[in-house]
Structure 1
């Protein structure tokens, strides 16, 4: 007697269409189509699957492999009751290489690869999490907030390079190029000649508006640096650089404003999530960093079967490579960049706030482990602690988190 009907669907998505292929458990192709993106395409997919399932709709299981885990199309697939498996593009590429050596690639061929991958390796693929709407909202604002910060860093580096080419005195005068007082003074005097004319009163006023301390001393130091002898460029080249710097200053000013606004949105959405208090109880996590951790882990209670599964997803746990008598543990280079950034930042901050975390880090360093590997090991440990707290619904406790370090380590 056969089991329930299982259909395996490969969905190769593009901006305006989806190539899909449906196969059965034996690998036989049952249907293939190119569907438009949106409601019409989703309706056609339901119709294709409905025709194949027939009267066994309540017993059938439909597994869909797709190289993304977000967006309205994926949300609609999950809402329809399909098991949606997120396939890493690197996994799909390697699986494609196993099926053929010609190197040929097409959208329809990719749909076939995804369908066959789901058919044979569904047990090794990650199901798209059923995160709550509140978690999705946190993800939206937390991600764009972090993206804006990354963009500010990129534009600040561009500003630094430009100033180094024609106005090195500015680099000596200003420590924080994206700070409000720096942006104001550079906008007022974008050339070495103009900057040398800035008075103590003008500099002090900008520093006061930026709420700086020791205004008199800092204003004098800035004026001295701006008036120091530096190598320069011809006037026409300097004017061209000044124009480009003015554009960068305008972008940075807008980014600063939007980052501050978005931070308020991140904190507001995060504070409404049921797990916020537990996450905030963890050492090194504040509202913004905690929101990023929640956003990237999600809040589906069934997504991580164990602490190890959460660590593997985080990318903090090492991978082991063994051959014969040789066995080495290496860092994972394929990971969620946003999540690993948040977790390593948490680990670094936890060194100040958690005696247990500090003792754990110091113990790794005493064994000869470098700073970054030790920090990664600490982050891995903190992920396990967070997993336990979320599973049990309890707040972080220093003594419980680090029992093996002894009372002296956390006293």
Structure 2
């Protein structure tokens, strides 16, 4: 049996192959190019790599063109956490030395000694991988949009409080197209005070607003013409230029988030698991796509529901030593899935009577809000695992039988 370890970098990758006895049988350095990938595959073939019996590979990343090339066929690719690699490195020497060829050898020996305790990358379908790319990009775009919105709000507080008052009554506030259109037309409070009703109506129409234009124009005109403290004129103009530059970034972030959301809405319903995921209360297209992106569609990825719960961070973890026994929340987890699970549990409170009863039951037992939410997510993701394995839709009576009876 031959095991392969790859220490990857931006421009080159170090490769080491070891046999069952731990003897180094081959080592090389390849470029991060198509020619380098072909060289790697040729070396693997020389040492017994075939389509039916491929050589397993350990690497410290789960993405990239190199990983995509290695995952063709039946080959098992193991993404080893760099922190775990650092612990294994200490087994081979106490001098704490480190080198790229040495790390490749450590990775190969990890598979030789402990391959059964590491999980290979899941064999997800191409559609599931495409949905994962879109869902994660859309989530990143939303986070980026919120960060830029917070920066813009902080800047407006320094010189333009009237804008915050005018847009504070709207949901999503500064991220709305109406707010961005008005700020582009009046970047400073002095210019905002000079806007007429016609200018405000025109800005609202350009942003796509259809109803309530007259009332909104009158309301904002009164706010902009009220008495506020002002910065000196030159300083105010400088703030206005800074705000316009930040507004351009926010405009791009909002456009990216909307475009990626449309792409997710087109791709997610095409997946066979979409009907099962959307049958759960609290899961819509966007949130359901995020859940699918993180758990994938490889049915053999998790041995049971407990493995999925641990991966999501909803299952508690026990630390016991002697007389000490502590049960707490899990910190090592998939952060994206855990974040989606919190939103899922929160939305399920209004969409499912059983979920609401479960949440109330946990609160009555003394759980804090986040603890009760995590407990609800832990229960529902276990039910999701069961439904996906059997191809069944969620049923409220089956999911929360006793709690629904008590609530009735």
Q: TM-score, normalised by structure 2?
A: 0.92
Aligned to 1:150: 143
**Does 2:107 match 1:114?**
yes
* Structure 2: segments with no counterpart, 5+ residues: none
**Does 2:132 match 1:139?**
yes
Asked if the contact 1:173/1:223 (under 8 Å) is kept, the reply is no
- Secondary structure at the residue paired with 1:177? helix
CA distance 1:162–1:212, change in 2 (3 Å): farther
Asked if the contact 1:314/1:336 (under 8 Å) is kept, the reply is yes
- Secondary structure at the residue paired with 1:48? helix
Aligned to 1:312: 310
Aligned to 1:126: 119
Aligned to 2:77: 84
Please give the alpha-carbon distance, in whole angstroms, between the structure 1 residues aligned to 2:247 and 2:117.
Answer: 48
CA distance 1:139–1:170, change in 2 (3 Å): same
**Does 2:175 match 1:178?**
yes
Aligned to 2:381: 383
1:71 CA displacement: 2.7
1:28 counterpart (13, 17, 23): 23
Please give the alpha-carbon distance, in whole angstroms, between the structure 1 residues aligned to 2:369 and 2:211.
Answer: 33
Q: TM-score, normalised by structure 1?
A: 0.91
1:392 CA displacement: 0.5
Aligned to 1:3: none
* Structure 1: segments with no counterpart, 5+ residues: 1-5
Please give the alpha-carbon distance, in whole angstroms, between the structure 2 residues aligned to 1:164 and 1:59.
Answer: 64
**Does 2:189 match 1:192?**
yes
2:335 counterpart (318, 321, 337): 337
Give a deviation string over 1:50-77, Cα, whole Å, max 9, x none: 22238xx578552211122223322221
Please give the alpha-carbon distance, in whole angstroms, between the structure 2 residues aligned to 1:367 and 1:398.
Answer: 23
Aligned to 1:365: 363
Please give the alpha-carbon distance, in whole angstroms, between the structure 1 residues aligned to 2:53 and 2:201.
Answer: 73
Aligned to 2:322: 324
Aligned to 2:346: 348
1:156 CA displacement: 0.9
- Secondary structure at the residue paired with 2:97? coil
Aligned to 2:225: 227
How many residue pairs match? The answer is 403
CA distance 1:275–1:60, change in 2 (3 Å): closer
CA distance 1:10–1:226, change in 2 (3 Å): same
Aligned to 2:10: 15
Please give the alpha-carbon distance, in whole angstroms, between the structure 2 residues aligned to 1:371 and 1:220.
Answer: 41
1:221 CA displacement: 3.9
Task: Please identify, of 41-50 and 289-298, the stretch whose mean Cα deviation from structure 2 is larger.
Answer: 41-50
